[in-house]
Structure 1
Amino acid sequence: MEVHVQPRTRSKMFCGCAIAELNAAPNTHVCEICLGMPGVLPVPNKAAIEACLKTALALNCEIPRHTKFDRKNYMYPDLPKGYQISQYDLPVSVNGYLVVGARTVRIRRVHLEEDTGKLIHAGDKLHKAWESYV
């Protein structure tokens, strides 16, 4: 199972842009970093990293000494720059577990990635299906 959770931060994962409200006009909370313009360098959001580490510790995960971010290249309409900054081979944490009653649920990894955009289609019947809460 894969669960996506949006940390409550004031800015996006790799730039200083404010997080857009659901009803914000399209393309109003973007900058050169969001758009992947040549020469720009993303900077990880410290508050998001701290939230991820707290989650990892709550899930009894191991915290490796080193972590890194990767570019995951693919084309999708809500991915304006053609790649997503994510973590694959060196995530923030690994090998955790959560005890639920008499069962132990293994956690393979907790990692950070950017969610570059959202497509909201008129007429969708799934209320708030684009967000996950834990």
Structure 2
Amino acid sequence: MANEIMDRNNLMKNWFNNDSWMNNIPSIFDNNFPDDSTLKTDIKESDKKYEVHVDMPAFDKRDIDINYENDVLTVSGHRDSFNDHNDNKGDMIMSERSSGRFMRQYRLPSVDTKAIKATYDKGVLKVDLPKLENKLDSGHHVDID
């Protein structure tokens, strides 16, 4: 189930990344639309839970927000600009680190919202989302008389 979602995401990313028109968008937009390197994620699924690991280097734990609503986990945060980007001497020859607001969403159904736990250590956010033991009915079959 989760793999199908990831396959669709990868298909869309590949389509956009291989499209020559998309590759010609000016770099002026780079700071507003973070590239593929932002918030890299691993998601594991077992019978009992989902485990989400999100790379969020140089984020302060207070600047990370986690929300789960309507079967969607949203991880967002902001990172202020870096002090060493102020290049008064003119010696900065390259700058790739980005700052600003970042957000990712993941569809993870049937989660026990009261048991979600998160930790942040060494630039990696880990979110454990236990699954509901008794899944709620998502529909009801109606027989025709």
- Give the shorter-chain TM-score range: under 0.3
TM-score w.r.t. length of structure 1: 0.26
**More helix per residue:** 2
Larger radius of gyration: 2
More strand by share: 2
